[in-house]
Amino acid sequence: MNEPVARRRLPLLIALLPAAAVAQAQTTTALPTVEVQAARVQGIDPFALPASQDTVWVDDDRSGASAQLSEALAGVPGLLARDRQNFAQDTQLSIRGFGARSTFGVRGVRVVVDGVPATMPDGQGQLSHASLLGAERIEVLRGPFSALYGNSSGGVLQVWSAQGQAGDPWRLRVNAGADNTLSVGAQLRGASAGIDYNIAANHFRTDGWRDHSRARRESLNARIGGELAGGRLELLLNALDAPDAQDPLGLTRAQVAANPRQATAVATQYNTRKSVSQQQAGLRWTRETGAQRWQLMGYGGQREVTQYLAIPPGPQANPLHAGGVIDLDGNYGGVDVRWGWRGDLAGRPLDVVVGANADRQRQHRTGYANFIGSTLGVRGALRRDQRDTVQNVDQFAQAWWQWSPRWSLLAGLRHSTVRFESDDHYIVGRNPDDSGRRRYQATTPVAGVSFEATPQWRLHAAVGRGFETPTFNELGYRADGQAGLALDLAAARSRNLEVGSKWHAQNGTQFDVSVFRADTDDELAVASNTNGRSTYRNIGRTRRQGVELQYRQPLAEQLELQVAWTWLQAQVRSGYLACAGSGCSVPDTEVRAGSRLPGVPRQQAYARLQWSPGAWQWALEGTASSDVVVNDLATERAPGYAVLNLEGGHRWSLASGDLRAFARLDNVLDQRYIGSVIVNDGNGRFFEPGPDRRASVGLQWSWR
């Protein structure tokens, strides 16, 4: 990839205990109708499905910069979205402990934006191009039914843009805060002459809370639709430009104690940074004719990434080393076809969906030395040159049947085949031909039943299987330090079980509880993480089990309480050997059965009290997490923390539109805490501190 291309700027376009819940129905709270995409059952309320699914509505009354999805996800039980204070690395996202070990990007969780996969066929995904400005809702699916999305589905996160309607407002939004942070966005949404549209563009920049963490992002998201050939055709566009986002790297415990805002010395010495440029487009056509419905979707895109790492010249003297500059230039695309039918079986409602999808990513991966002579942090000699291709072909089927007035069954099956191929073009001296290929396949069944105890109370149980292949990044290096890809890595396979209770009263009271367990064989884990190179291996059996609780209660006409709590035990079930220090090439220290998996807090909690008197809106919000083990041997851990936030806003209704002013104060008590961790960092720099007290203010102008 050429660096000038990477620097292109995009144009900024204008339960178990239902008796504990309050059952009286004073007023009915009406939410927009949702087409349940997560379970692929159209027209069925998620409340009636045997799955743990939450919908986060992204409304006009939110405060904050709206720069990352993590701003909207704190209240979802079982989900952990950590803001790393580092825009060179994506949000750390995990669901029920799946994906917690990822040192960059998103793995173990499927991400979908407006129906277009943001997770590649190998299971590696990112959130950076998803926009809160144009979003209507975020759907989070946890538990066994995630397996219906194929490879690497420990959970599913879907972002959906609103469909434009006649009379929808256009919006301008500005937010400014500490560290010279500025976010400016525009949204054009509406419908005219048979065409509906939702176009959102955003400019974001910050100097960063930590040293050497300056970043800038330009993004554009568009959803444009209309009628065609008896159905509906939608054009989905997305673009992202994030040049030279500085990477402050992690800190040791001593560095955090001395100054949590500092960057590691080598970060400035090597000017560690990352540039991302992505453009993609998709077309989706849907049609319903009587009891049948069709959906055809195709998409394609290009993504370019350049990253400068802090690897000293010494390790790069090894002829097998890939260098300190990673350069990825790739294209991707796919198709999805599905057919649905709604009818009766034995006189009872039946809904069936069958389909297939194929996705492909082809990537030119090059590596370079990060020095020329004594000059560091520049692109030097070529050290890696290969073409990587990964593709999947999946078939799936699902049926929902309400076999009695109070019982229903949801069952599905998916068969996935994932093929990896690498063609090495850098064969120099002692560096051999590292070409190779590997195929993985799995069939993942899932089934669940739901029982209507009362119109407000549902009980459900579900079981299923899942699997997770290594990503190309995880296949990139062998754990023994030898040449070639880690083609010996097996896919992790899991068995999932969940039972739950949902209580939803007409006055808005909600009380949901889920108890779950996931047993995994051949768990993929970090083997080493040093000198900018992460290697992986299969460590045997693990178990994730826990309880999720969500409670929402209107306390008065304008006062509402929301609470979410997660208890999660993630541990090793079969012991293995790990490295006790940096430079270790042969694991020599036992990790015993029963040890905690790193990166997973035992408990998480969230609470929000919101008061909306007239044109005002006030909210008090608290988040808390227990301690987190940061390496396999549990020799280090990040302590638990609790953070309090405040926000307020006021809306003025004018003849030409609405003007809203808002402010937010994060970490009101100015607590010192670790916001995220880098699992198994070989240099002992595990910790990424959270920010101190931060303030931001904003204005939003909406007009029709």
For tokens 């993630």, the residue is 570
Give the Cα-Cα-Cα angle 125, 118, 681 (nearest 5 degrees).
Answer: 10
The Cβ-side half-sphere exposure at 56, using a 13 Å CA radius, reads 23
pLDDT score recorded for residue 444: 95
| Strands 559-572 and 576-578, bridge-based pairing | unpaired
Strands (E), 290-324: 292-308
**Whole-angstrom Cα distance, residue 244 to residue 215?**
7
Tell me which amino acid residue 344 is: D
What local confidence, expressed as pLDDT, does residue 585 receive? Answer: 66
CB burial of residue 627 (10 Å; 0-12, 13-18, 19+):
middle
Pairing of strands 92-95, 106-107: unpaired
DSSP bridge pairs for 502: 458, 512
Q: 582 Cβ partners below 8 Å, 6+ apart?
A: 530, 682, 683, 684
SS3 for 421?
strand
* Domains parsed from the chain with CATH numbers: 15-23+33-703 (2.40.170.20)
Amino acid found at 263: A
Distance CA 546, CA 567 (A): 5
Say how far apart CA 389 and CA 210 lie, in whole Å. 37
pTM of the full predicted structure?
A: 0.90
Cβ proximity of 66 and 133 under 8 Å: yes
Q: Which two tokens stand for residue 596?
A: 């905690």
* Cα(323)–Cα(52) distance, integer angstroms: 44
> Per DSSP, what are the bridge partners of residue 604?
566, 625
Query: What does the pLDDT read at residue 106?
Result: 83
Q: What distance in Å separates the CA atoms of residue 240 and residue 464, rounded to the nearest whole number?
A: 36
**Phi and psi at residue 18, to the nearest 5°:** -65, -25
| Token code pair at residue 415 | 């068969």
Q: Which two tokens stand for residue 472?
A: 């190309």
Give the ranges where 469-613 is alpha helix by DSSP (H).
Answer: 472-475
Residue 296 near residue 337 (C-beta atoms within 8 A): yes
Residue bearing tokens 């790069």 = 316
The DSSP symbol for 269 reads H
> Which of 140, 116, 113 has the alpha carbon at shortest distance from 127?
113
Residue 35 to residue 37: CA distance in whole angstroms: 6
- Asked whether 681 and 663 are in contact (CB, 8 A), the reply is no
Do residues 246 and 273 lie in contact, with contact meaning Cβ atoms separated by under 8 Å?
Answer: yes
Alpha-carbon distance of 292 to 64, in angstroms, equals: 43
Contact predicate 509/660, CB 8 Å: no
Structure tokens at 390: 């990964």
Give the side-chain half-sphere CA count within 13 A for 45. 11
**Ranges of the chain with pLDDT below 70:** 1-40, 529-533, 582-585
Bridge-based pairing of strands 375-376 and 371-372 is antiparallel
Given this model, what pLDDT does residue 63 score?
A: 83
Residue 687 is predicted with a pLDDT of 96
**What pLDDT is attached to residue 14?**
25
pLDDT recorded at residue 530: 65
Q: Where are the beta strands (DSSP E) in 469-531?
A: 492-504, 510-521, 524-530
Per-residue confidence (pLDDT) for residue 683, from 0 to 100: 87
* pLDDT value of position 40: 54
Tell me which amino acid residue 482 is: Q
For 396, residues 6+ apart whose C-beta sits below 8 A from its C-beta are: 148, 150, 353, 354, 355, 356, 357, 412, 413, 414, 415
Residue 268 identity: T
Q: Which runs of E-coded beta strand occur in 557-588?
A: 559-572, 576-578
Please name the amino acid found at residue 63. Answer: S
For the beta carbon of residue 448, count every other beta carbon within 10 angstroms: 25
Would you call 417 exposed, middle or buried from its count of C-beta atoms within 10 A (0-12, 13-18, 19+)? Answer: middle
Candidates 134, 128, 106; CA nearest to 245 is: 128
Tell me which residue of 211, 208, 207, 206 sits closest to 258, measured CA to CA: 211
Residue with the two structure tokens 């209107």: 554
